[in-house]
């Protein structure tokens, strides 16, 4: 299924319809929908769509030669080298638009390291209208390919990082779920299309978790392990760091102590690599004026699938190997709603930022003080509280936010309350209060706008 990639699809079509040589790079995490997008973009056009595999260079070249022979009716012709094969395609595209998609390009380069240099030479010297698209799901590989020292540096005419779909589009994949269940599914999958497609909306979220992560044939039972093994060396250290992060050890010193490192500086390269892969991010309190120099940053797992898996699956793999899912079910019953609340807060900030046009938005923490939402628009501050729970927000919750405001030392123009369910009536008559809820049927709704002085 193909949903909500209109902007990305139009971008690719613009390059495919050009009268010039185009060299486009598409990348993004595994299962995010790159191949589906490319197939949609090239449908009905003339060209070659070749997918790399983990086999020898000779095997790949033979397979590519067969694709070239099929397209140009060469009846079994073969090429002695990648340079010969690619040059032939470039020259065939001299007078007509022909696309050449090299998907999972990292496997091609792994088998034939000379490929980037060959592509550089052909792009630089061949007069062609070819539409060359390189695609990869390896983020570490793409970082190297796009780097200054790469042979193809400066040659691309366009590139795109394909991100997971946004929360508000997840209902296209799971139309039978209400927005509360969508939030739960999104907190697990992070909007990765193939993960969303695995959900069965006729079943509860709990049963889907069992089917997708815990059963003997669960398709996502080892998905994060596979991704790490494809991207990184020393996966054991990364796994220990991710488990520590999943259980709330967010500062370098605490992480190092948890995994048995005596010096927190030794884990910095690992954290850097996880950030590069978009699995982890460093968060800074939004009020910090110089975020580069501050030491108040913490590290969190930003990829929802990894965050879920290292919290609820990885610690219990030894039980799952013997078919014992009870320890995981027990943990889910105790902690899953709290787990979802993290994503709920994040999505609330995204919604508010797009709705109110904040210059910046984030959260704040210091010692025991935590504020879910702090936004700034010109000279006005907004602070807010999010509650993912099955009862309405009350005056008591607002009073708690007032107390936090005093400790923060900022006088806000508006207080924002974000609820899963709704609000007590008395909150609706207050002028400088904004009320937002995630309606089961309609999604985000502003129940009451803030009347600013």
Q: Which CATH class is domain 169-335?
A: mainly alpha
Mean pLDDT of 84-107: 96
Domains 169-335 and 342-448 share a fold: no
Tell me the per-residue pLDDT of 189-203, one tens digit each, with 9 for 90 and over.
999 999 999 999 999
C-alpha to C-alpha distance for 256 and 355, rounded to whole angstroms = 40
User: What residues does each domain of the chain span?
Assistant: 6-161, 169-335, 342-448
As a whole number, mean pLDDT of residues 416-434 equals 89
pLDDT exceeds cutoff 90 at 294: no
| Nearest of 129, 133, 134, 49 to residue 97 by alpha carbon | 129
pLDDT tens-digit map of 348-403:
999 999 999 999 999 999 888 899 999 999 889 999 999 999 999 999 999 999 99
Which has the minimum average pLDDT: 84-93, 393-402, 406-415?
Answer: 406-415
Q: Which CATH code for domain 342-448?
A: 3.40.1350.10
Which range among 103-117, 220-234, 401-415 shows the weakest confidence by mean pLDDT? 401-415
Determine the pLDDT at residue 453: 57
The pLDDT value recorded for residue 452 is 67
Q: Give the least confident one: 41-50, 238-247, 400-409.
A: 400-409
Closest among 133, 165, 155 to 25, alpha carbons compared:
133
Which residues, other chains included, contact 25 with Cβ-Cβ below 8 Å and sequence gap of 6+?
133, 134, 135, 142, 145, 146, 156, 158, 159, 160
pLDDT in tens, 138-147: 988 988 888 8
Banded model confidence at residue 2, pLDDT cuts 50, 70, 90: low
Flag the least confident range among 25-34, 70-79, 84-93, 279-288.
Answer: 70-79
Q: What's the pLDDT band for 4 if we cut at 50, 70, 90?
A: confident
Q: Is the pLDDT of residue 1 over 60?
A: no
Structurally, what CATH architecture does the domain formed by 6-161 represent?
Answer: 3-Layer(aba) Sandwich (3.40)
Average confidence (pLDDT) over 115-137? 95
Structure confidence at residue 12 (pLDDT): 97
């Amino acid at each position: 299924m193909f949903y909500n990639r209109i902007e990305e699809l139009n971008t690719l079509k613009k390059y495919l319809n050009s009268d010039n040589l185009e060299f486009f790079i598409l990348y993004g995490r595994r299962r995010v929908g790159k191949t589906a997008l490319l197939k949609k973009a090239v449908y009905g056009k003339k060209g070659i769509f070749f997918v790399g595999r983990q086999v020898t260079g000779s095997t790949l070249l033979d397979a590519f030669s067969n694709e070239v022979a099929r397209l140009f009716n060469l009846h079994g012709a073969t090429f002695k080298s990648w340079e010969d094969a690619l040059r032939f395609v470039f020259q065939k595209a001299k007078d007509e638009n022909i696309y050449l998609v090299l998907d999972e390009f990292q496997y091609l380069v792994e088998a034939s390291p000379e490929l980037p240099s060959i592509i550089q030479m052909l792009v630089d010297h061949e007069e062609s209208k070819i539409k060359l698209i390189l695609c990869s799901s390896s983020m570490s590989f793409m970082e190297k390919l796009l780097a200054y020292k790469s042979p193809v540096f400066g040659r691309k005419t366009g590139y795109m990082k394909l991100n997971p779909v946004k929360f508000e589009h997840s209902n296209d994949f799971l139309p039978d779920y209400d927005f509360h269940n969508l939030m739960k599914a999104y907190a697990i999958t992070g909007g990765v299309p193939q993960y969303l497609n695995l959900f069965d909306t006729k079943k509860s979220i709990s049963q889907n978790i069992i089917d997708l992560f815990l059963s003997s044939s669960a398709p996502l039972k080892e998905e994060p392990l596979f991704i790490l093994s494809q991207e990184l060396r020393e996966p054991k250290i990364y796994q220990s760091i991710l488990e520590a992060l999943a259980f709330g050890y967010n500062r370098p010193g605490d992480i190092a102590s948890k995994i048995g490192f005596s010096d927190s500086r030794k884990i910095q390269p690992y954290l850097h690599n996880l950030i590069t892969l978009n699995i982890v991010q460093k968060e800074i309190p939004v009020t910090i004026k110089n975020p580069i120099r501050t030491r108040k940053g913490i590290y969190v797992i930003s990829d929802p699938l990894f965050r879920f898996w290292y919290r609820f699956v990885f610690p219990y793999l030894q039980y799952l190997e013997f078919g014992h899912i009870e320890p995981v079910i027990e943990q889910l019953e105790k902690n899953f709603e709290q787990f979802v609340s993290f994503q709920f807060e994040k999505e609330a900030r995204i919604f508010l930022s797009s709705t109110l046009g904040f210059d910046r938005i984030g959260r704040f923490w210091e010692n025991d003080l935590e504020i879910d939402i702090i936004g700034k628009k010109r000279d006005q501050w907004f602070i807010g509280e999010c509650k993912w729970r099955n009862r309405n927000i009350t005056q008591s919750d607002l009073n708690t936010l007032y107390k936090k405001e005093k400790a923060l030392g900022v006088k806000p123009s508006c207080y924002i309350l974000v609820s899963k369910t709704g609000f007590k009536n008395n909150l609706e008559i207050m002028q400088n209060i904004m009320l937002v809820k995630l309606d089961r049927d309609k999604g985000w709704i502003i129940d009451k706008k803030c009347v600013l002085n």
